[in-house]
Amino acid sequence: MSASYAHPEVLVDTEWVASHANDNNVRVVEVDVDTKAYDEGHVPGAIAWAWNTQLCDTTVRDILPKATYEDLMTESGIGNDTTVVLYGDNNNWFAAWALWQMKIYGHKDARIMNGGRKKWIAEGRDLETVATKASPGVKPYRATDPDFSLRAFLPQVQQAQKSHSAVMIDVRSPQEFSGEILAPPGLPETCQRGGHIPGARSVPWGKACNDDGTFKSAGELEKLYGAEGISKSKPAIAYCRIGERSSHTWFVLKYLVGVDNVTNYDGSWTEWGNLVGAPVEKGAAKSVGHA
Amino acid sequence: MKPEHFSERKVDVDGWQVNLASYKLGDKWHTKADNVSPGAALARIVADTREDAETRALARAKELLSRTKRREV
């Protein structure tokens, strides 16, 4: 693993997982966009969380309430000191979403398997097709109060947009950014207006990844984000459509690049693009000097 | 079981790029078609042959992509 990432300890490679997946203090969890992928085959010993039922409040649009999060951890056999390794499809989109929530609730040791599900399969590693049954923890899991310094809410985003106090990073595809399409190709439209938050920089999430699904090197990432005016010292807010792609970029900026003050605006375009009176900019991305 | 013969390629479907990833697990072929950007799954098919899995995945992807409207900006 690259030692030049700001926090290399949050990444493990597939070989590490193959060697440690069944260690007593390690819990491997698969979190996919396609929630049926786990059943097709998964890392031996891994359990699965469904992002759309287990990692969000299913009544109010929100992340998991604290008590529900604690229950999920306990039922998953995860203690406060467990090393949790998350991985999934789409280069770890929802694995990053899960890690973001775990960090909000103060879990100390949560990591991402670099390359995710795709790399594991491409390497021809063992897949298990029978679901793993987790033994619930003997000791109930205790979360901290939510750390909302990792999350941006609408009022903060509106204030930052007006005052230019943070760099806004739109990580959706260029066509979503420009307003040409309202949702990713083939998926239902979930907003009334297309375009982006005025002043936002366009850095599609996938630019942070190599073809094999692993993250680009620290130098490549610094160059990528630096070209868009994103630096370690300036506050940054990442957003996408519903907050999962932006949690991926949040992870990259926070732990690999080392941006201290970066938040994930999970309200994202489904909130901003439906908001009465919110300013919207259309058109393709411009270079930094012409923002 | 170990997955074998993993491969992926990009295909143009009515002007949209689609990523087709296939592998064999046991005696079945698994294919996933996604929309490249952002990479969300459009179809996941299990079939007896790679050709059948990919053909059916592409057909489903084409059906879903045909619903995407492009707007003037």
Contact in structure between A17 and A116 (CB atoms under 8 Å): no
**pLDDT, average across residues A110-139:** 94
Predicted structure pTM score: 0.95
Pair A123, A211 in one domain: no
**B64: which chain A residues are within 8 Å (Cβ-Cβ)?**
185-187
Packed helices A244-251 and A89-104: angle between N→C axes, nearest 10 degrees: 80
Backbone angles phi, psi at A231, to 5 degrees: -130, 170
Q: Among residues A147, A174, A192, which one ends one of the domains? A: A147
Longest dimension (CA), chain B: 49
Contact A129 B21 (CB under 8 A): no
CATH of the domain at A243: 3.40.250.10
Q: Which residue has the tokens 């970066």?
A: A262
- Which residue does chain B place closest to A129, by CA atoms? B1
pLDDT band at A26 (very low <50, low <70, confident <90, very high): very high
| pLDDT score, position A275 | 97
pLDDT band at A2 (very low <50, low <70, confident <90, very high): very low
Pair A131, A183 in one domain: no
Contact B6 A129 (CB under 8 A): no
**A184: which chain B residues are within 8 Å (Cβ-Cβ)?**
35, 37-38, 40
Residue B45 bridge partners (DSSP): B31
3-state helix, strand, coil in chain B (%, to 5): 20, 45, 30
Pair A60, A111 in one domain: yes
Pair A142, A12 in one domain: yes
Distance from CA of A33 to the nearest CA of B (A): 7
Could you tell me if the ipTM is greater than 0.90?
yes
Contact A185 B68 (CB under 8 A): yes
A111, pLDDT greater than 50: yes
Q: Among residues A147, A165, A181, which one ends one of the domains? A: A147
Pair A128, A187 in one domain: no
- Domain residue ranges in chain B: 4-65
What tens digit of pLDDT does each residue of B14-67 get? 999 999 999 999 999 999 998 877 677 899 999 999 999 999 999 999 999 998
Distance from CA of B50 to the nearest CA of A (A): 16
Distance from CA of B54 to the nearest CA of A (A): 17
Asked if residue A52 belongs to a domain, the reply is yes
Task: Select from B2, B32, B70 the Cβ nearest to the Cβ of A180.
Answer: B70
Whose CA is closest to A40, among A75, A85, A89, A74? A89
**B1: which chain A residues are within 8 Å (Cβ-Cβ)?**
41, 126-129
Does A33 or A108 have the greater pLDDT score? A108
**A178: which chain B residues are within 8 Å (Cβ-Cβ)?**
73
A69, pLDDT greater than 80: yes
Percent residues over pLDDT 90 in chain A: 88
Pair A238, A158 in one domain: yes
Contact in structure between A83 and A26 (CB atoms under 8 Å): yes
Asked if residue A115 belongs to a domain, the reply is yes
Asked if residue A96 belongs to a domain, the reply is yes
| pLDDT score, position A33 | 86
User: Which residues, 6 or more positions from A261, have their beta carbon under 8 angstroms from its beta carbon?
Assistant: A149, A166, A234, A235, A236
Which of A31, A32, A34, A92 should one mutate to test binding to chain B, selecting the residue with the greatest count of B CBs within 10 A?
A34
**A181: which chain B residues are within 8 Å (Cβ-Cβ)?**
68-71
For residues A52 and A75, give the distance between their C-alpha atoms in angstroms, rounded to a whole number.
Answer: 18
User: Is residue B47 within 8 angstroms of chain A, CB to CB?
Assistant: no
Cis-peptide, bond into residue A184, ω within 30° of zero? no
Asked if residue A29 belongs to a domain, the reply is yes
Range of the domain at A14: 8-147
SS3 A278: coil
Whose CA is closest to A225, among A194, A262, A198, A175? A262
pLDDT band at A184 (very low <50, low <70, confident <90, very high): confident
| pLDDT score, position A289 | 59
Distance from CA of A93 to the nearest CA of B (A): 10
A200, pLDDT greater than 70: yes
Pair A136, A223 in one domain: no
Q: How many domains does chain A have?
A: 2
Asked if residue A226 belongs to a domain, the reply is yes
User: Is residue B10 within 8 angstroms of chain A, CB to CB?
Assistant: no
Task: Select from A34, A121, A122 the Cβ nearest to the Cβ of B44.
Answer: A34
What Rg do the C-alpha atoms of chain B give, in angstroms?
13
Asked if residue A2 belongs to a domain, the reply is no
Asked if residue A3 belongs to a domain, the reply is no
Contact A283 B73 (CB under 8 A): yes
Lowest mean pLDDT among A56-70, A183-197, A213-227: A183-197
> Residue A259 carries which side chain, given as an amino acid letter?
V
Contact B6 A122 (CB under 8 A): yes
Q: Among residues A115, A147, A179, which one ends one of the domains? A: A147
Pair A140, A168 in one domain: no
A240 is catalytic: yes
Residue B69 burial (10 A CB sphere; 0-12, 13-18, 19+): exposed
- Which residue does chain B place closest to A212, by CA atoms? B8
Distance from CA of B4 to the nearest CA of A (A): 6
